Homo-oligomer: A and B are copies of this chain.
């Protein structure tokens, strides 16, 4: 089908993918060029797939400027399984794991860690209604923390942490599911970064982790094979059958990013896109009320309220009639949420900004 028939997809994830990636997947669905098999059908032990995996890892390393001493691995189960694997591997006896309670996802990570050992809340945004991310200076760390866990972007509340903190010897572990690859980050500041693919990276069903080798040496021993990060590192993510197709898509998306200027270009574009919406919001004379404090405004998930729930419902309905899908806020917080990841087009953001102005003019 032609691209004209595609709608504007503001979904928080799974989310819009680059159209050239979809077109290539379509072209090779019955056979990878010269291979005679679909990517869905090839053995993960084949030379063809090994090349795909290797190129994907190489491209991701280049995009993220990963220094030596780090390993990239692919896992399954989404960030939610990582919430468990992190404390299983790294919350050692007689230590406490520090968590930032930054919103819905930070809390979920914290809850799983409690099943595994002692945790300490280094900062909580709860009393403020999860409107902002903290500064590093606000952290209260326990003595000898096993690690500090942060969530760089809270998709539901729409707040984002833009700084790469330097914690010295304390391992910094980051759930970057919803903003990874949206801008450059300093990998060297982190001991572990993990991210479900289904926002900026690819389809649901594969999770990327960037692990510092030094952290692995501190990990617990005797874990279940599939819940031990070392298994993935030692077997180049091929201990068991990986999600072959999903990794292929991640590879194509990574290649698309490199072809379009890498993370610096992605960051520029994402900032421009977010500003268009936030401007429409700030210039609405209070008709739209952003949830996030300005410094913490997410460039990935933009959340705002209207004067009433009725107007919010009408906004979503009229937007949908204009070809804009997925704007309803998460059921836990309500309101409107526009998710505009890397692959969401600037022209689509312009359509929404213009719609916002028109709607406010009519209804204010």
Question: Residues of B contacting A81 with CB < 8 Å?
Answer: 76-77, 226-227
Interface residue ranges of A21-41 to B (CB < 8 Å): 22-23, 25-26, 29-31, 35-38, 40-41
- Are B22 and A30 in contact, with the CB atoms below 8 A? yes
Question: Residues of B contacting A198 with CB < 8 Å?
Answer: 241
Given A1-B31, A42-B14, the answer on whether A325 and B206 have CB atoms closer than 8 Å is no
> In the complex, how many angstroms separate the beta carbon of A176 from the nearest chain B beta carbon?
16
- Are A30 and B3 in contact, with the CB atoms below 8 A? yes
Q: How far is the CA of A9 from the CA of B79 in the complex (A)?
A: 34
Most buried by B among A12, A76, A246: A76
- Are A84 and B224 in contact, with the CB atoms below 8 A? yes
Q: How far is the CA of A27 from the CA of B16 in the complex (A)?
A: 18
Chain A 228-261 near chain B by CB (<8 Å), digits 1 or 0: 0000000000011111111001000000000000
- Are A84 and B43 in contact, with the CB atoms below 8 A? no
Chain A 34-67 near chain B by CB (<8 Å), digits 1 or 0: 0111101111101000000000000000000000
Question: Residues of B contacting A243 with CB < 8 Å?
Answer: 76, 203-205, 243, 246
**Interface residue A326 (Cβ < 8 Å from any Cβ of B):** yes
**Interface residue A19 (Cβ < 8 Å from any Cβ of B):** yes
- Are A204 and B38 in contact, with the CB atoms below 8 A? no
**Interface residue A13 (Cβ < 8 Å from any Cβ of B):** yes
Given A6-B31, A76-B81, the answer on whether A38 and B22 have CB atoms closer than 8 Å is yes
Question: Residues of B contacting A84 with CB < 8 Å?
Answer: 224-227
**Interface residue A91 (Cβ < 8 Å from any Cβ of B):** no
Question: Residues of B contacting A112 with CB < 8 Å?
Answer: 224-225
> In the complex, how many angstroms separate the beta carbon of A30 from the nearest chain B beta carbon?
5
Q: How far is the CA of A12 from the CA of B26 in the complex (A)?
A: 25
Question: Residues of B contacting A15 with CB < 8 Å?
Answer: 41
Given A30-B1, A30-B26, the answer on whether A78 and B76 have CB atoms closer than 8 Å is yes
- Are A22 and B13 in contact, with the CB atoms below 8 A? no
Question: Residues of B contacting A227 with CB < 8 Å?
Answer: 81, 84
The majority secondary structure among interface residues of chain A is loop
Q: How far is the CA of A224 from the CA of B91 in the complex (A)?
A: 14
> In the complex, how many angstroms separate the beta carbon of A338 from the nearest chain B beta carbon?
14
Q: How far is the CA of A23 from the CA of B29 in the complex (A)?
A: 8
Given A203-B245, A204-B44, A226-B80, the answer on whether A30 and B14 have CB atoms closer than 8 Å is no
**Interface residue A7 (Cβ < 8 Å from any Cβ of B):** yes
Q: How far is the CA of A44 from the CA of B196 in the complex (A)?
A: 14
> In the complex, how many angstroms separate the beta carbon of A79 from the nearest chain B beta carbon?
8
> In the complex, how many angstroms separate the beta carbon of A52 from the nearest chain B beta carbon?
12
- Are A12 and B43 in contact, with the CB atoms below 8 A? yes
Q: How far is the CA of A196 from the CA of B244 in the complex (A)?
A: 13
Interface residue ranges of A74-120 to B (CB < 8 Å): 76-81, 83-84, 88, 111-112, 115-116
User: Which A residues fall within an 8 A CB radius of B?
Assistant: 1, 3, 5-7, 9, 11-17, 19, 22-23, 25-26, 29-31, 35-38, 40-44, 46, 76-81, 83-84, 88, 111-112, 115-116, 196, 198, 202-206, 222-227, 239-246, 249, 323, 325-326
Return 13 A-B CB contacts under 8 Å, by A number: A11-B41, A11-B43, A14-B40, A26-B26, A36-B325, A37-B325, A77-B81, A78-B241, A81-B226, A83-B225, A84-B225, A205-B242, A245-B246
Further pairs besides A11-B42, A76-B205: 9, Cβ < 8 Å? A9-B42, A11-B37, A12-B43, A14-B41, A19-B30, A84-B224, A205-B242, A245-B245, A246-B246
